[in-house]
Amino acid sequence: MSSELKNAYIEVSNLKKDYQVRRHFLARPATLAAVAGVSFTIEQGGTFGLVGESGSGKSTIAKLIMGAERPTSGQVVIDGHRFGAQASASEDAWRYRALQPVLQDPYGALNPRMKIGNIIAEPLRIQRWKQWSRHAGNPATEGSAPALANSDAYARRVAELLELVGLRADYAGRLPNELSGGQRQRVAIARALALEPRILVLDEPVSALDVSIQAQVLNLLKDVQAELNLTYLLISHDLAVVAYMSTQIGVLYLGQFMEIGSKEQVVNRPVHPYTQALIAVSDPDSGLDDDVVTGEIPSPLNPPSGCPFHPRCPRADSRCAESKPLLRQLGPAHWAACHYAEAIAQTDESTDIVSAIAA
């Protein structure tokens, strides 16, 4: 895929992550393939949406890209910096500044005893912001880094960040328990932006929020992205959220892509039965049958033979149980791993949701 897109800012190739798990302490360890060979690219300023259910490996991919876990094999290249199975301290130091996470639970993410101002200033202190900052002439960039968060430079940066996420500057003096869930998520976003990262990894950023607040945070993330030219990796179980935010979408199932491509292709012309099922249950107006997927998600410890989705797939036949379909290209920005992808694309008129709604 890498050759297809110009200016790939993040390039993930054949990424794999195995975990050794024991069912009980005497058992021989079994291999759990959490991520089983995943490749994709993200262009600068774009948003790649990873959608999948529990056990699909979406959070593991986020950890591998952030450097919280090392891949078993494969590599991630971010802006020319290469990250593989071997650690490199200098590259990791670069990555820890260039990438910042925003996680699901805005209650667990903030230290309840720290004031908001200190929470946002903490990364500045830890990473010695003076060396990092492009704010030339800023007092903080000269001499030794200020030790305290309430020094002027830090306070100014905190106020700037609070304004960016739509909170008043006086929130710096408050404690997390004085804030609502949406406000806390704004603080978590401000903290992630403190070091002027190039990439935000958003792992279920709005799942814990109410609908009206969810829209506020999604719109904030869009505004901040446009203002700072950020690149996003967005992870969510909610296809509607992913479709709203993303330029590209990858649909994961048991550690592998079922379908991947531009948002328009995946959402408006889905060719994989799993993508179609996800759309059917998330969108009452899709016209797709929402009653087709049976059974449960198989354990990644004991994945099905052939296509991982075949035991639940309404179209599966013996071929699907025997041979595993590889991800193959169906259009300029569209790949799917299904033996019958072409047939579905041709025959299934209803997959073209846009024309169905327009008609």
Partner 1 sequence: MGAADIHEVLRVDGLTSDIATPGGRVNVVDGISFGLRAGATLGLVGESGSGKSMTCLSILNLLPAFGRVTGGSVLFKGEDLATKSADEMRKIRGGQIGMILQDPMTSLNPLYRIGDQIGEVFKYHHGERSKRSRWQRAIDVMKRVHIPAPAQRAAAYPHQFSGGMRQRISIAINVACQPDLLIADEPTTALDVTIRQQILRLLKEIQRERGTAIILVTHDLHTVSKFCDEVAIMYAGRIVEQGPVARIFAKPAHPYTRGLLDATPKIGAGMARLQEIPGQPPAAGQHGGGCRFASRCGRAAALCKESYPPLAATDGDGQHQVACWYPLEAA
Task: Note whether 244 binds partner 1 by CB under 8 A.
Answer: yes
Min. distance of Cβ 316 from partner 1 in angstroms? 15
Min. distance of Cβ 120 from partner 1 in angstroms? 20
Min. distance of Cβ 182 from partner 1 in angstroms? 6
Is the Cβ of residue 53 or residue 196 nearer to partner 1 in the bound state? 53
Asked if 217 and 206 touch (Cβ cutoff 8 Å), the reply is yes
Residue from 201, 267, 327, 330 binding partner 1 (CB under 8 A): 267
Closest CA to 231 of 197, 264, 207, 262: 197
Q: How far apart are CA 187 and CA 9, in angstroms?
A: 27
Task: Note whether 164 binds partner 1 by CB under 8 A.
Answer: no
Is the Cβ of residue 84 or residue 303 nearer to partner 1 in the bound state? 303
Residue from 1, 77, 213, 321 binding partner 1 (CB under 8 A): 213
Task: Note whether 269 binds partner 1 by CB under 8 A.
Answer: no
Is the Cβ of residue 54 or residue 131 nearer to partner 1 in the bound state? 54
Cβ neighbours of residue 217 closer than 8 Å, sequence gap 6 or more: 182, 185, 186, 189, 205, 206, 209
Other CB atoms within a 10 A radius of the CB of residue 2 amount to 12
Is the Cβ of residue 98 or residue 215 nearer to partner 1 in the bound state? 215
Helices 116-126 + 152-164 axis angle, to 10? 110
Report the Cα 311 to chain-centroid distance in Å.
Answer: 27
Report the Cα 16 to chain-centroid distance in Å.
Answer: 17
Binding segment for partner 1 (CB under 8 A), chosen from 109-117, 121-129, 217-225, 324-332, is 217-225
- In the sheet with 30-43, reading across from the earlier edge strand, the strands are 30-43, 8-21, 73-78, 81-83
Fill in the amino acid letter for 161. Answer: L
Q: Which of residues 301-340 bind partner 1 (CB under 8 A)?
A: 312
Task: Note whether 149 binds partner 1 by CB under 8 A.
Answer: no
In the numeric block, which tokens belong to residue 334?
């569209």
Is the Cβ of residue 151 or residue 282 nearer to partner 1 in the bound state? 282
Task: Note whether 285 binds partner 1 by CB under 8 A.
Answer: yes
Task: Note whether 281 binds partner 1 by CB under 8 A.
Answer: yes
Task: Note whether 279 binds partner 1 by CB under 8 A.
Answer: yes
Q: How far apart are CA 237 and CA 243, in angstroms?
A: 11
Residue from 114, 228, 240, 321 binding partner 1 (CB under 8 A): 240
Task: Note whether 290 binds partner 1 by CB under 8 A.
Answer: yes
Is the Cβ of residue 180 or residue 329 nearer to partner 1 in the bound state? 180
Q: How far apart are CA 17 and CA 34, in angstroms?
A: 6
Q: Which of residues 66-85 bind partner 1 (CB under 8 A)?
A: none
Asked if 64 and 78 touch (Cβ cutoff 8 Å), the reply is no
Q: Which of residues 7-26 bind partner 1 (CB under 8 A)?
A: none
Closest CA to 143 of 151, 191, 192, 172: 151
Task: Name the one residue in this structure whose structure tokens are 């912001």.
Answer: 129
Q: How far apart are CA 266 and CA 336, in angstroms?
A: 9
**Local structure of residue 326 (DSSP, 8 states):** P
Task: Note whether 162 binds partner 1 by CB under 8 A.
Answer: no
Task: Note whether 59 binds partner 1 by CB under 8 A.
Answer: no
Q: What is the size of the binding site for partner 1 (CB under 8 A)?
A: 44
Task: Note whether 135 binds partner 1 by CB under 8 A.
Answer: no
**Local structure of residue 313 (DSSP, 8 states):** -
Min. distance of Cβ 92 from partner 1 in angstroms? 33
Asked if 266 and 251 touch (Cβ cutoff 8 Å), the reply is yes
Footprint of partner 1 on this chain (CB under 8 A)?
53-54, 180-183, 210-216, 218-219, 222, 237-241, 243-244, 267-268, 277-279, 281-286, 290-291, 293-294, 296-297, 312, 353-354, 357
